[in-house]
Amino acid sequence: MKGRPVAKIGRFKSDKARAAYMSAYDDMAALSPIPYTGRDAETCFGTTHVHTFGSGSGTPLVLLHPLGGNGLCWYPVIEELCRDRVVYAPDTIGTAGRSVQTAPITEQAQFGVWLDEVLAGLGADRAHVLGFSDGGWHAAMAGFHQPKRLASLTVIEPGGVIVKLRWSALFQIMRFAIMPSKKNMTRMNEWVMPGVPISEVEMRAAKASLGYQRHLPWGTVFEDTDLQSITIPSLWIFGGESEIVYPAEAAGQRVRAHVPQAEVEVYPGLGHGLFFANADRVVPRVQDFLRRHDR
Does residue 3 lie in a domain region?
Answer: no
Which CATH number covers residue 97? 3.40.50.1820
**How remote is the C-alpha of 12 from its chain's centroid?**
20
What type of residue sits at position 144? Answer: F
Does residue 157 lie in a domain region?
Answer: yes
Does residue 5 lie in a domain region?
Answer: no
- pLDDT of res. 6: 56
Helices (H), 102-223: 109-122, 134-145, 167-178, 182-192, 200-208
189 in Cβ contact with 243 (< 8 Å): no
Alpha-carbon distance of 90 to 103, in angstroms, equals 18
- pLDDT of res. 55: 95
CA distances from 279 to 75, 93, 140, 239 (A): 12, 27, 22, 12
- pLDDT of res. 264: 99
Model confidence pLDDT, tens digit, residues 162-173: 999 877 777 777
Does residue 2 lie in a domain region?
Answer: no
Does residue 57 lie in a domain region?
Answer: yes
**Parent domain of 43:** 11-290
Does residue 6 lie in a domain region?
Answer: no
pLDDT tens digit at each of 295 positions of the chain: 444 555 799 999 999 999 999 999 999 999 999 999 999 999 999 999 999 999 999 999 999 999 999 999 999 999 999 999 999 999 999 999 999 999 999 998 999 999 999 999 999 999 999 999 999 999 999 999 999 999 999 999 999 899 998 777 777 777 777 777 888 888 888 888 989 999 999 999 999 999 999 999 988 999 999 999 999 999 999 999 999 999 999 999 999 999 999 999 999 999 999 999 999 999 999 999 999 999 7
Backbone phi and psi for residue 221, each to the nearest 5 degrees, phi listed first? -60, 130
Q: For the chain, what is the domain count?
A: 1
Task: Produce one character per residue of 109-134: b if its CB has 16 or more CB atoms within 10 Å, e if not.
Answer: ebbbbbbbbbbebbebeebbbbbbbb
Does residue 78 lie in a domain region?
Answer: yes
- pLDDT of res. 16: 98
- pLDDT of res. 188: 82
Does residue 233 lie in a domain region?
Answer: yes
Quick one: which of 14, 82, 36 has its CA closest to 287? 82
